[in-house]
């Protein structure tokens, strides 16, 4: 903004006079008798040629040449020709301080007005900054607290029937923990091993691993509330690494059986919660959280037998947690933790669990018969390539050999046949066929669908028993 010049401003010659006092009146600070520009005059009327010379000079000032010497004259100090009074500017060059008059007659009201305006602007800026800080600065803190709270409670989404909203893992753990016990294996009066177990019947029967209970002659159960009771071995099955113990106590104790779930509907990425008693630590079971990493895994058990249809999880499973519970986001038991992947450098962060359908089926057999009764077909094979499958099916097992005199040979199955269904269930791979065959009742007749010579056949097989 151009500051309006007074009509009585000094001429260029006066501004350059030898009297240094003229420096104090150059900006017209002491001039009060100027009537101002006549409204009827044009913008250039009433202005002298001297004024134009002064204005031209003022607009060509080189501020880099400002002297710091207080004895400098007007000719040496082009700042004396600057059109804007220092009081109208918010900055000063150090050399300007020598030219400011101590008895300046600039109206005090204007100075106060300018100062008040400047202070008001500063206060307004501070208030605005505080308002912006309150509005936007506090949001990240709230988000951080929310995130920390979500991590602390590990809130997860439920799925399946009856699952609505969100269930904290703490609530799931509180529900399942009373069903999980620590197992101490005793031999000759001393503890030689430990593991975990899951109560699945209210009469005190629990499922654990076969490799946990081997080499023991007595067993002790440690419940979440600290209660310790004796247990007896009902039976075990090496083929599935499943064993059953039964608590024995003279006192009445309310056993809390776990809620059984369904592992066949599990998908990779779903929440998995492992609860067990690692390393015989006191204070109750340990809870770890991860996801279902994969299903239908095949792995060798610590005893050397092949285990099929295993559920893989990244929920940390430590030594001593074998036989513990693997539950879903609702707290339903979907597996019995069995093995962990270990290399020369230690655990690989992979755990495997026996599907609850297999574990429960074997445990029921053990309770009823004293041992697991596995069905047998008497065939060996591999996953069938796509070119050998019928148009109606996407998977099957190619028969590579048939046991002489076995159930399959007696029922008419031949090498080269492709098995696509067993007992009304689709056969997805060789591991699935082995598991399904083992779960058949020995002595019963089961239909088996095969693909042979571009035709589908249904054969009835009398199921044998696996020794």
Residue 273 CB coordination number (10 Å): 24
Q: Which distant-in-sequence residues (6+ apart) come within 8 Å of 330 by Cβ?
A: 158, 159, 160, 162, 163, 167, 172, 261
Distance of alpha carbon 278 from the chain centroid: 25
The reply to whether 211 belongs to the active site is: yes
Residues 105, 111, 112: CA angle, nearest 5 degrees: 130
Whole-angstrom Cα distance, residue 396 to residue 390? 9
Whole-angstrom Cα distance, residue 28 to residue 17? 16
Which residue carries 């975990």 as its tokens? 196
Taking each continuous run of H as one helix and of E as one strand, the counts in the chain are 10, 22
Whole-angstrom Cα distance, residue 325 to residue 65? 86
The pairing of beta strand 205-208 with beta strand 346-355:
unpaired
The reply to whether 423 belongs to the active site is: no
Whole-angstrom Cα distance, residue 439 to residue 227? 36
Residue 376 CB coordination number (10 Å): 19
What are the E-state strand segments in 344-444?
346-355, 375-376, 379-383, 397-402, 418-422, 425-426
The pairing of beta strand 445-452 with beta strand 464-465:
unpaired
Instruction: Count CA atoms within 13 Å of residue 219 on its CB side.
Output: 26
Residues 413, 418, 420: CA angle, nearest 5 degrees: 105
Q: Is 275 exposed, middle or buried (0-12, 13-18, 19+ CB in 10 A)?
A: buried
Whole-angstrom Cα distance, residue 188 to residue 117? 94
Whole-angstrom Cα distance, residue 115 to residue 7? 27
Q: Which of 237, 241, 423, 429 is catalytic?
A: 241
The reply to whether 203 belongs to the active site is: no
Whole-angstrom Cα distance, residue 145 to residue 199? 38
127: helix, coil or strand? helix
Q: Which of 179, 194, 210, 211 is catalytic?
A: 211
Q: Tokens in use for 28?
A: 């017209």
Beta bridge partners of 106: none
Q: Which of 322, 365, 417, 446 is catalytic?
A: 322
**Whether 444 contacts 436, CB under 8 Å:** no
Catalytic residue numbers read: 211, 241, 322
């Amino acid at each position: 903004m151009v500051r309006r010049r007074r009509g009585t401003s000094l001429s260029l010659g006066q501004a350059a006079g030898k009297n240094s006092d003229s420096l104090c009146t150059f900006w017209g600070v002491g001039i009060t008798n100027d009537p101002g520009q006549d409204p009827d005059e044009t913008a250039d009327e009433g202005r002298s040629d001297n004024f134009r010379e002064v204005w031209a000079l003022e607009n060509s000032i080189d501020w880099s040449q400002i002297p710091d010497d207080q004895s400098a004259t007007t000719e040496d100090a082009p700042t004396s020709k600057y059109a804007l009074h220092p009081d109208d500017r918010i900055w000063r060059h150090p050399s300007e301080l020598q030219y400011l008059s101590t008895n300046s007659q600039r109206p005090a009201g204007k100075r106060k007005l300018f100062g008040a305006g400047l202070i008001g602007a500063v206060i307004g800026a501070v208030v605005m900054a505080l308002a912006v800080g309150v509005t936007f600065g506090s949001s990240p803190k709230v988000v951080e607290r929310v995130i920390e709270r979500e991590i602390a409670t590990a809130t997860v989404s439920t799925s399946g029937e009856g699952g609505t909203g969100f269930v904290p893992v703490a609530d799931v753990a509180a529900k399942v923990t009373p069903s999980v016990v620590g197992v101490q294996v005793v031999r000759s009066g001393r503890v030689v091993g430990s593991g975990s177990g899951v109560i699945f019947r209210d009469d005190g029967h629990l499922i654990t691993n076969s490799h946990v209970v081997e080499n023991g002659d007595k067993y002790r159960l440690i419940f979440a509330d600290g209660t310790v009771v004796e247990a007896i071995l009902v039976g075990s099955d090496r083929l599935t690494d499943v064993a059953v113990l039964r608590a024995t106590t003279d006192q009445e104790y309310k056993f809390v059986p776990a809620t059984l779930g369904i592992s066949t509907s599990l998908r990779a990425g779903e929440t998995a919660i492992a609860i067990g008693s690692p390393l015989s630590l006191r204070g109750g079971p340990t809870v770890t959280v991860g996801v279902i990493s994969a299903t239908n895994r095949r792995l060798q058990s610590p005893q050397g037998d092949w285990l099929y249809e295993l559920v893989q999880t990244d929920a940390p499973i430590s030594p001593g947690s074998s036989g513990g519970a693997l539950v879903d986001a609702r707290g339903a038991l979907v597996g019995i933790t069995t093995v962990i992947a270990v290399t020369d450098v230690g655990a690989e962060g992979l755990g495997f669990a026996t599907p609850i359908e297999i574990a429960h089926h074997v445990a029921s057999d053990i309770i009823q018969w004293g041992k697991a009764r596995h069905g047998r077909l008497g065939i060996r094979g591999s996953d069938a390539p796509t070119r050998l499958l019928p148009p109606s099916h996407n998977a099957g097992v190619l028969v590579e050999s048939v046991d002489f005199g076995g159930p399959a040979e007696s029922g008419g199955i031949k090498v080269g046949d492709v098995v696509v269904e067993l007992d009304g269930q689709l056969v997805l791979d060789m591991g699935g066929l082995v598991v399904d065959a083992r779960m058949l009742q020995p002595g019963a007749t089961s239909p088996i669908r095969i693909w042979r010579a571009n035709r589908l056949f249904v054969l009835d097989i009398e199921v044998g028993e696996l020794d």
